[in-house]
Amino acid sequence: MCGIVGVVCDENCQDYIFEGLKLVQYRGYDSVGICQKNGEQLKIDKTKGLIDKLITKTTPLPGAKVAIGHTRWATHGAVSEENAHPIEGKNKEWVVVHNGIIENYQQLMCDLQKEGEVFKTQTDTEAIALLLSLNNFDSPIKNMIWAIKHLKGSYAICAVKKQEENCIYAAKYKSPLYAFCNDEIAMLASDPICFPEGDYYKLEDGELCVAKKGNIVFYNMRGEEIQKTKQRFQKIRAMADKGDYQHFMLKEIYETPEALKRVAKNFLNVDFGAIKKLKFKNVKLIGCGTAYHSCLMGAAYFRKYLKIDAEAIFASELRYDDYVIGPHTLCIFISQSGETADTIAALEKAKAKKAKIISFTNVPYSTIASLSQIVLPISAGPEIAVASTKAYSCQVAGLYLLTQALKSEKHFYKAIKQVSELAQTTEKFFVNMADFAQDIAQKQKIYFIGKGSDYITALEAALKLKEISYINCWALPAGELKHGTLSLIESKTPVIVISTNKSVHEKVMNSALEAKSRGAKLYLISYKPPQICELENFEFCLSLPKAPQPLLCILAILPMQLLSYNVSLIKGYDPDKPRNLAKSVTVE
């Protein structure tokens, strides 16, 4: 959540900030701001709303060689221009942008007020800016160290000091921050997607740096210089471009076939022998939101193909419940961004209990990847839209390949072929859902039902639709409809039925007809063409192409993603930026 971009260069620093902020707007935000600096002259511009609004109101500060920018998602304080970042300290001596949550903000505010400091905003970030201004050490990096020693919580901080020429001071703890430099420029950002192609640095927890044009010096919390190893980052900007598509979400749905091909290719390079050596007796799959749904699918694969006790757990629940986890537990953490705060905290708890740790992440340089014993690639490529689409399909495909590899080499290579063929099938399976969307766009509530893996697909389909259309969507196992929820079915209530498993198809149909008898309008996604006697019961029927049954869930979710996209457009919303949501949830 929130995005940071900082730059030190000779000219056009404002342009670098705006370009970078646009690339991290997937993280979610409701206000945006920039501070430009030329010598001791500071120019701060902020606004509620989107980056384009800030661009319109901001003029360059002549001669500015330093700038920091921020997209804010409100946590402390209302959505307002006043609370937008950058936040200034006393007399603008320090100006700060900050991601994360300062948990002891209230105590800091009381302490600072006793020192005579006056708070001008409702943000926890202002405490950082005021702490930095409270002392005048002989080195600004000492101010940074002194200030952050007083902080509890998470932070990625970029700050400029009024009296210091052409540099940015930065610090990181439990919120991502990266650095880049060449002869012409130095940059800091929440995501290296903002950088020119080339080598970059990842700041670890408790590290600080001073960025100047062509040079970045790193420090530990004792103020000692430290050496860091560069990491390579390639081609990410081109893949993060919207291209000819109207929205990132539509582009990313259509990128699913290529993403599946990458999954099959990249899994050929995975050392499954290392996973087998972990010697586990049970499996916990942990994630949030869409990743949790892929965990449910993965747990089903483990139970079906390996006959292993496996369960999916919400990361936010694992942190506070007494799940039985120990040295013989394999914990698989799934996160598209690799920076999900609840998932990181759950991982650390599992690690403390000596569990074996594997992660599935789409971002190999992420925090979750760095904390894991083994990292498996989601391989989806950049996913910018808040609602996850291609990454979910890749997670499910990867989990299927993992279970087949652990079963036998023969099963693994058969599964690789299946995923590759699925990618080819998917290329031809982008159906027009506009009429279907028009039929349900004005409904107040929608129900999704399925059985087994289709129930999991129903959960993910309902999440997609509610995320970007703001319609109240429910998903439940088909057999549970009569255990309470049937009381909510009334005339013309939409019920979307997902059925990809022949063995339970009749059971699912019976549940659907129970809803119809109460007035529901039925819509069907099925593994086979409906029989003539079934057609009269459904407003819409879609038959999926032939594919291996364990992977039909990927084909089934594609039209549901397109349905959600179309409903969002009909209702006049931006499917890439749903209200109140962020792509990378880096706070608890």
CA distance 495 to 509: 12
Q: Which pLDDT does position 414 carry in this prediction?
A: 97
Q: How many CB atoms lie within 10 A of CB 273?
A: 8
Q: How is residue 426 written in tokens? A: 């998917």
Q: Which backbone phi and psi does 468 adopt, to 5 degrees?
A: -115, -5
pTM: 0.79
Q: Would you please indicate which residues are annotated as catalytic (active-site) residues?
A: 2, 583
Q: How is residue 377 written in tokens? A: 């690639």
Question: What is the DSSP-derived secondary structure letter of residue 179?
Answer: E
Q: Which pLDDT does position 236 carry in this prediction?
A: 53
378-401: average pLDDT? 93
Question: What is the DSSP-derived secondary structure letter of residue 11?
Answer: S
pLDDT of residue 7 exceeding 60, the answer is yes
pLDDT in tens, 121-172: 888 888 888 889 888 888 899 999 999 999 998 899 999 998 888 899 999 9
Q: How is residue 16 written in tokens? A: 């670098």
68-72: average pLDDT? 89
Burial of 281 (0-12, 13-18, 19+ CB in 10 A): exposed
563 vs 93, residue with greater confidence:
563
Confidence of residue 206 (pLDDT cuts 50, 70, 90): very high
Q: Which pLDDT does position 239 carry in this prediction?
A: 57
Domains and CATH numbers, the chain: 3-238 (3.60.20.10), 248-427 (3.40.50.10490), 434-570 (3.40.50.10490)
Q: Which pLDDT does position 175 carry in this prediction?
A: 87
Confidence of residue 197 (pLDDT cuts 50, 70, 90): confident
- Whether 350 and 334 have beta carbons less than 8 Å apart is answered as no
Integer angstrom CA distances of residue 219 from 146, 186, 281, 324: 13, 17, 42, 39
CA distance 119 to 107: 13
Q: Which residues pair with 449 in a beta bridge?
A: 476, 497
CA distance 336 to 292: 11
Question: What is the DSSP-derived secondary structure letter of residue 172?
Answer: E
CA distance 458 to 449: 6
CA distance 319 to 337: 19
pLDDT in tens, 532-571: 666 778 888 999 999 999 999 999 999 999 999 999 999 9
CA distance 422 to 558: 12
CA distance 301 to 307: 9
Longest dimension (CA), the chain: 84
b/e per residue 318-345 (b: at least 16 CB within 10 A): bbeeebebeeebbbbbbbbbbbbbbbbb
Average pLDDT, the chain: 90
Q: Write the CB contacts of 238 (distance below 8 Å, at least 6 apart in sequence).
A: none
Q: At what angle are helices 390-407 and 256-267 packed, to 10 degrees?
A: 30
- Bridge-based pairing state of the strands 168-173 and 207-212: antiparallel
